[in-house]
Amino acid sequence: MPFFKVPGTVNGIAPMRKFSKGGSVNPDRAPVWHQEPGLGWHDHLRSRSNLDAPDVANKRSGTKELPQEAAPDIPELVSNSLSDERFAEHIMGLIKEATSLTEARLASLTRWDADAKMLTNYWFGSSDDQIKAYLIPIMGSILRVLRGLNPKSFLPYDAASTTSVGCSGQVDQSADAAVCPVDTNGHRILLAAQFFKRDAFNRVYGTREFLPRDSQLSILLHEITHFKDVAGSNDAYYGIRNAKSISDKTAEAKVNADSLAAHVLGITIK
Ligand SMILES: [Zn+2]
């Protein structure tokens, strides 16, 4: 029984969605992408000079993260392709979890309870009214994006996808995922093959808490914060531990994608 019916199936058989490096979506459903050959890649962390199209904001592996113990709960997710139906079930599960966690964080911020003050202080070095007033609309924007996502919001991270969502066409091979921050109509999220090698949640065993490591869930939230209509965040400090290292610098932390993601997840580093 399909959890989520993905349009575009042929004769009742879900087409395979390739997420391998350089893979492409089913050609029957993929429009013909226009790629501007003159546009060179400029890493979004480096300066740009000649681009009209903005670069995608990537989520790379944190350089100071603990080693990942790749333990996907669905082995087929690490293969080169998976059925649209299986993909839809998995991604909607992630979205559901992200939504409920963001709702809980927003409620806590609105109450401005002890937990909210502890977490804003922990990640943004402040528990004053300004940080509260800054974060509440961002939580609302994350929820707005999450509620608009569906399996078709996710594309393979390749040159065709990055141009199709309005950014330059080059791909950072080290990235797990990417978005085009100005894609505020579509909110498309581009996923690289290595995204599926991440643990989905990285929870502390036997608890509802999260380890201070990247997970598919943290990457999803991280990417959403990049959109210009959410937080327009940057990647100045990749990785949850790097984000913690700037928690006393409020101005930087409040626009750092991993600081915002860790805050939503309520992570603290033990
Ligand atoms: Zn990023």
What does the pLDDT read at residue 191? 96
State the average pLDDT over residues 27-39: 26
| pLDDT confidence bin for 244, thresholds 50/70/90 | very high
CA of 132 to the centre of ligand 1 (A): 23
Distance in Å from the first CA to the final CA of the chain = 42
Overall pTM surpassing 0.85 (yes/no): no
CA of 221 to the centre of ligand 1 (A): 10
What does the pLDDT read at residue 52? 54
Distance CA 211, CA 269 (A): 8
State the average pLDDT over residues 232-258: 97
Residue 63 has pLDDT above 50, yes or no: no
CA of 39 to the centre of ligand 1 (A): 21
Q: What are phi and psi of 30, to 5 degrees?
A: -90, 130
CA of 255 to the centre of ligand 1 (A): 11
What residues are neighbours of ligand 1 (ion), with CB under 5 Å? 57, 59, 235, 257
Query: What residue type is assigned to position 58 of the chain?
Result: N
Of 233, 199, 230, the C-alpha closest to 213 is: 199
User: What rounded mean pLDDT belongs to the chain?
Assistant: 79
CA of 28 to the centre of ligand 1 (A): 31
CA of 42 to the centre of ligand 1 (A): 15
State the average pLDDT over residues 15-35: 33
CA of 258 to the centre of ligand 1 (A): 8
What does the pLDDT read at residue 59? 73
What does the pLDDT read at residue 218? 97
Residue 161 has pLDDT above 90, yes or no: yes
CA of 88 to the centre of ligand 1 (A): 23
Residue 53 has pLDDT above 50, yes or no: yes
CA of 243 to the centre of ligand 1 (A): 12
CA of 177 to the centre of ligand 1 (A): 8
46-55, 147-156, 190-199, 217-226: the lowest-pLDDT one = 46-55
pLDDT in tens, 170-223: 899 999 999 999 999 999 999 999 999 999 999 999 999 999 999 999 999 999
| pLDDT confidence bin for 270, thresholds 50/70/90 | confident
27-41, 130-144, 208-222, 248-262: the lowest-pLDDT one = 27-41
CA of 57 to the centre of ligand 1 (A): 5
CA of 68 to the centre of ligand 1 (A): 18
CA of 60 to the centre of ligand 1 (A): 7
Residue 16 has pLDDT above 50, yes or no: no
What does the pLDDT read at residue 125? 98
What does the pLDDT read at residue 167? 96
Structure tokens at 64: 């100071």
CA of 59 to the centre of ligand 1 (A): 4
Structure tokens at 162: 């990055």
CA of 44 to the centre of ligand 1 (A): 9
Most confident of 16-20, 83-87, 137-141: 137-141
CA of 181 to the centre of ligand 1 (A): 10
Per-residue CA distances from 48 to 39, 156, 233 (Å): 11, 24, 18
